């Protein structure tokens, strides 16, 4: 069997990093091998592209060029981190993946959805996530959490956090639309609760899908991907 490929998606301050860490611990306590990775980034070269994108360096090129850079980073990340881990039977928990490009550059950045889908087919191919957990909460609540975290760390607002409320509202709707269109892969998690409750919802979603995850990983071996 290959590992399971699980992605976490959502708007600002949804609590993805917090919940990925909790799921990693739960799986490791059950003797499972897990890696945690992120996008953009997750491999040395993709991390270089991340620094450029989040600094706003690519913004003058426009949203389509930014989407291409996210996919260049994703290509390297798949090649050097995700696929090798899955083939060794290691579960991959990834903070953002292709749905972020669909939501941020597509629905919110106005890049044609068919163009993004075309690039996704070429770059991601059969390596779609087995399960995508979409952490959903009202935009204001997420932005408040992200502000609090920045105040705590002294971090600055990045390229995407600086966008206005309307952008973030479109983003939230884009994720809900993705989930509605792909109910076999996506589960919407109500993230507007305390971290323990969100963790429990995620664990229920994982347990409810274990047979399906196991079947997907057997198929991946059968198809050599």
User: Least Å distance between CB 193 and ligand Z5A?
Assistant: 6
Verify binding: residue 12, ligand Z5A, rule CB under 6 A: yes
Which is nearer to ligand Z5A, 27 or 135 (by Cβ)?
A: 135
- Whether residue 115 contacts residue 64, with contact meaning beta carbons closer than 8 Å, is answered with yes
Verify binding: residue 139, ligand Z5A, rule CB under 6 A: no
Residue 71, classified by CB atoms within 10 Å of its CB into exposed (0-12), middle (13-18) or buried (19+), is buried
Verify binding: residue 169, ligand Z5A, rule CB under 6 A: no
Candidate residues 45, 80, 83, 149; the one interacting with ligand Z5A per rule CB under 6 A? 149
Verify binding: residue 5, ligand Z5A, rule CB under 6 A: no
Verify binding: residue 15, ligand Z5A, rule CB under 6 A: yes
- Whether residue 174 contacts residue 107, with contact meaning beta carbons closer than 8 Å, is answered with yes
User: Least Å distance between CB 112 and ligand Z5A?
Assistant: 15
User: Least Å distance between CB 222 and ligand Z5A?
Assistant: 29
Verify binding: residue 96, ligand Z5A, rule CB under 6 A: yes
Other CB atoms within 10 A of residue 174 CB: 21
Q: What are phi and psi of 92, to 5 degrees?
A: -115, 120
Q: How far from the centroid of its chain's Cα atoms is residue 41's Cα?
A: 11
Which is nearer to ligand Z5A, 96 or 209 (by Cβ)?
A: 96
Candidate residues 195, 204, 208, 210; the one interacting with ligand Z5A per rule CB under 6 A? 195
User: Least Å distance between CB 215 and ligand Z5A?
Assistant: 27
**Residues near ligand Z5A (CB under 6 A):** 10, 12-18, 38-40, 70, 95-96, 100-101, 104-105, 145-146, 148-149, 158, 160-161, 194-195, 198
């Amino acid at each position: 069997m290959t590992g399971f490929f699980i992605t976490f998606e959502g708007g600002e301050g949804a609590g993805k990093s917090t919940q990925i860490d909790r799921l990693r611990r739960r799986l490791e306590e059950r003797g499972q091998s897990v890696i945690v990775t992120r996008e953009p980034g997750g491999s040395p070269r993709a991390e270089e592209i991340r620094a450029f994108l989040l600094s706003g360096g690519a913004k003058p090129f426009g949203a389509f060029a930014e989407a291409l850079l996210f996919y260049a980073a994703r290509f390297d990340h798949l090649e050097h981190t995700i696929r090798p881990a899955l083939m060794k039977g290691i579960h991959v928990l990834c903070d953002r993946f292709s749905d972020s490009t669909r939501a941020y550059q597509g629905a919110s950045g106005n890049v044609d959805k068919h163009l993004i889908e075309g690039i996704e087919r070429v770059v991601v191919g059969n390596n779609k996530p087995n399960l995508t957990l979409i952490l959903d909460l009202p935009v204001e609540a997420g932005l408040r959490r992200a502000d609090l975290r920045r105040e705590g760390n002294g971090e600055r607002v990045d390229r995407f956090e600086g966008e206005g409320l309307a952008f973030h509202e479109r983003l939230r709707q884009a994720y809900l639309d993705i989930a509605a269109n792909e109910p076999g892969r996506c589960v919407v998690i109500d993230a507007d609760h305390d971290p323990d409750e969100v963790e429990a919802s995620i664990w229920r979603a994982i347990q409810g899908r274990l047979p399906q995850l196991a079947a997907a990983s057997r198929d991946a071996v059968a198809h050599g991907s």
